[in-house]
Amino acid sequence: MENIIECKNLTHYYGKRLIYKDLSFNVPKGRILGLLGKNGTGKTTTINILSGFLKPREGNCYIFGEDIQTMQPALRQNIGLLIEGHVQYTFMNIEEIERYYAAFYPNWNRTAYYELMAKLKIAPKQKISRMSCGQRSQVALGLILAQNPELLVLDDFSLGLDPGYRRLFIEYLYDFAKSEGKTIFLTSHIIQDMERLVDDCIIMDYGKILTQQPVTDLMNNFKRYTLSSDHAEAFKAMLEGNQLIYNPATRRDQLEFYSFADQREIGEILAPMQLPTQQLACETMNLEDIFIGLTGKY
């Protein structure tokens, strides 16, 4: 499958603080990829590198096969960018901003923009600065839809939105991407939104990628295991350091841990430790619980 984004061995520091080292990933054409990570793991850094506003210390990023650091301006016609907080030119009104952007994009679809604007209860001359955060998000989305790019890069699109606007944003975005085969690379703090929207996800921890795979595979393969025992703390200590076990923890007398391994493999790991495996419970999870399972609560 053709890759729209290819990032190879990205390494970046802020001062002496390492953000990540040798980060590599691809985004295939027509897929929606979500980048998940705790605060400070480098999500916005990655978006900044992808949008050409940050030069990584090492490594290269290619979009449509072109190095983003030397990308021709014309190629940016095919990249829609949503900046964190739905930043737009707030000194303009919705007509002025539409007229402004239309001049830069030959495939501009003003109908798509005004269809979305018609849903907002705003006056045509109302300045964007006087709109609510939700309304501003729809203006930003409408402009991206009208631009009709092949690739959308969205940084924390759900920031500041109430559930209604979040749902509206996701539905429009999903329909747009799936009906026209667009590629989307996005980040969000609200992982339930990602579950509804993304095909693939990358989960990042400090300095590295923990996993990159289709969300359905992740939800089928990554499981939570629980076990009740009076010696939960001791068992937890035994499991720590095992490469197949993620974030073992105890709550009262219950041991909890996560793993990509299936129940048989876990049984084999636990047997030498003399854990009461007959009480072992295994369950699949939603994406948010998977995220916590992989990255831990702290």
- Name the residues that contact another protein, by CB under 8 A: 48, 51-55, 73-77, 79, 81, 83, 85, 87-92, 96, 99-105
Nearest-approach distance from CB 238 to another protein, in angstroms: 45
Tell me the C-alpha distance between 74 and 234, whole Å: 61
CB-wise, 84 or 195, nearer to another protein?
84
Q: What are all long-range contacts of 171-175, with beta carbons under 8 Å and residues at least 24 apart? A: 172/116, 172/141, 172/145, 173/141, 173/197, 174/32
Whether the Cβ atoms of residue 29 and residue 177 lie closer than 8 Å to each other: no
Amino acid at 154: L
CB-wise, 53 or 118, nearer to another protein?
53
Nearest-approach distance from CB 168 to another protein, in angstroms: 22
Whether the Cβ atoms of residue 200 and residue 40 lie closer than 8 Å to each other: no
Nearest-approach distance from CB 68 to another protein, in angstroms: 11
- Parallel, antiparallel, or unpaired: how do β-strands 245-251 and 254-259 relate? antiparallel
* Three-state DSSP class for residue 26: strand
CB-wise, 147 or 295, nearer to another protein?
147
Return all residues near 64 (Cβ < 8 A) that are at least 6 apart. Answer: 4, 75, 78, 150, 151
DSSP string, 200-236: EEEEEETBEEEEEEEHHHHHHH-EEEEEE-TTHHHHH
CA angle (20, 190, 5) in 5-degree steps? 45
Tell me the C-alpha distance between 266 and 274, whole Å: 12
Nearest to 162 by CA among 133, 119, 140: 133
Nearest-approach distance from CB 74 to another protein, in angstroms: 5
CB-wise, 30 or 52, nearer to another protein?
52
* Three-state DSSP class for residue 170: helix
* Three-state DSSP class for residue 115: helix
Q: Where are the beta strands (DSSP E) in 64-194?
A: 66-67, 79-82, 151-154, 183-187
